[in-house]
Amino acid sequence: MPASTTLSSQQWISKDKTSLSPSYTRDFPLVVSHALGMHLYTPEGKQYLDFGAGLAVCSTGHRHPKVQAAIEAQLNKVWHVSSSDYYEPTQILLAETLKRLTPWLGEDATVYFGNSGAEATEAALKLARFHTQRPAVVSFDRGFHGRTFGAMSLTASKPHYQEGFAPLVPQVFHAPYPYPFKDAISGIDAETSTNQCLTYIEETLFQQIAPAETIAAFVVEAIQGEGGYIVPPDSFLLGLQAIARKHGILVVCDEVQSGVGRTGKFWACQHVEGFEPDVILSAKGLASGLPLCAVIARGGVMNWQEGSHASTFGGNPLACASALATIELVEQSLAENASIIGEMVLKPALEALQQAFPHHIGDVRGRGLMFAIELVENGTEPSSSKQEKVLQGLFEAGIVAVGCGCNSIRFCPPLVVEAHHCEQMITNLCTVLKSLNC
């Protein structure tokens, strides 16, 4: 028999410690008994304002009525059909929708469904190698692409993700990715930084490996997520694309965290005019909390053989129904809301705090509802201790936020967030920053 749902938070935490893998990271002693809209609730009834959205997953908020209705309607039809065995209309409709949302990939674009961002990365790795018949892949410093072996091999955001798991997937190389805040501290402007990163690829990396014979793909985040919510100059992505086209290398754009309206456009890469990656990876916010990922590839790229790759649960009908409802809401109003609230409320409020606390906040960066503050000592030196103190202070005030990088805090609320939610968070953040002076 299941344990009583009347257990206290501490009782649930005690049970967790004896039953679940110790590999899970838990920043706060928060037990969520239920959630609705912008809020999480504990068994004791305490309410938390959610500015993490389950790591940018709950794009339409918790239990959005339209998404819930779509899931319930699908429950009355079919729960599971393996895409390896049969055809299922909801999956086909979602694939057609994603093709419409990536018009530069062409009418003959194709879609593969899995269950998570890491699965999307793994599929893209296999696809890139198969399509190009080349072994090597290039990813970027501070990038995060998941924790399965292939995805972990591409990841370079924190060393502990790889500690104890060697050897990793071979023929994975890492190149520098611009970091405008740190570059500026070093006296390097955006153009120079971009040129240095691209020059490293052409004049250093390409001296180690022959690009046209060896490199299958560049795997790059349009905005780095776990690495610190770092927005590169447009010229970096465009320059990377030019190098790729020159040598027949695929550009795989990881939009697992930045996609589905989070930045105010459906895909973050759409902010960069002329940047048209060959493959898009989507997950997290795609199905408002149900496990689903998609790999969307330019026509002709997904030329692998029948049986080359599949997933028993990938493209589950319930998840696809949730995704279709999510996309409809994002297109109707939520992407616009992300742009308006992010650019007109959240960004200026965070920048005002930076002006008020320049010794604590070194940088404010992001797009739409994908913003971060970088916490520092003396205006420039990274401070992981302040990151911990600010996150804890917000939690004690009833605000859930998430760290990123070694010293930054990301604010990625559900796309249904309203101005008064941001004002509540900012008021509490200001109080916490003031307390750091003590």
Structural domain contains residue 87: yes
DSSP state letters, 333-390 = IIHHHHHHHIIIIIHHHHHHHHHH-TTTEEEEEEETTEEEEEEEETTTEE-HHHHHHH
Question: 185-220: per-residue pLDDT in tens?
Answer: 999 999 999 999 999 999 999 999 999 999 999 999
Structure tokens, 328 = 């409809």
Q: Which domain, by its residues, includes 147?
A: 68-330
Low-confidence ranges of the chain (pLDDT < 50): 1-3
| Distance (Å, whole) CA 235 – CA 212 | 22
Distances (CA, A) of 351 to 24, 191, 419: 33, 24, 16
Chosen domain end from 296, 330, 364? 330
Burial label for 132, CB within 10 Å (0-12, 13-18, 19+), is: buried
| Distance (Å, whole) CA 209 – CA 193 | 23
Residue 181 amino acid letter = F
Half-sphere exposure of 294 (CA within 13 A, CB side): 30
Q: Are residues 109 and 231 in the same domain?
A: yes
Q: Are residues 194 and 311 in the same domain?
A: yes
Q: What is the pTM of this model?
A: 0.95
| Distance (Å, whole) CA 223 – CA 204 | 24
Quick count: other Cβ atoms within 10 Å of Cβ 416? Answer: 22
Yes or no: say if 302 and 110 are a contact pair by the CB < 8 Å rule. Answer: yes
Structural domain contains residue 3: no
Q: Are residues 24 and 137 in the same domain?
A: no
Which single residue is written with the structure tokens 């790059």?
220
Q: Are residues 166 and 59 in the same domain?
A: no
Structural domains counted in the chain: 2
Q: Are residues 368 and 232 in the same domain?
A: no
Type and span of the H or E element at 221 = strand 215-221
Residue 376 sits in a domain of what CATH number?
A: 3.90.1150.10
Rg of the chain's alpha carbons, rounded to an integer? Answer: 22
Which pLDDT score, from 0 to 100, does residue 160 have? 77
Nearest to 103 by CA among 225, 269, 222: 269
Structural domain contains residue 280: yes
Yes or no: say if 31 and 15 are a contact pair by the CB < 8 Å rule. Answer: no
Nearest to 310 by CA among 99, 91, 14: 91
Chosen domain end from 308, 330, 352? 330
Which pLDDT score, from 0 to 100, does residue 158 have? 79
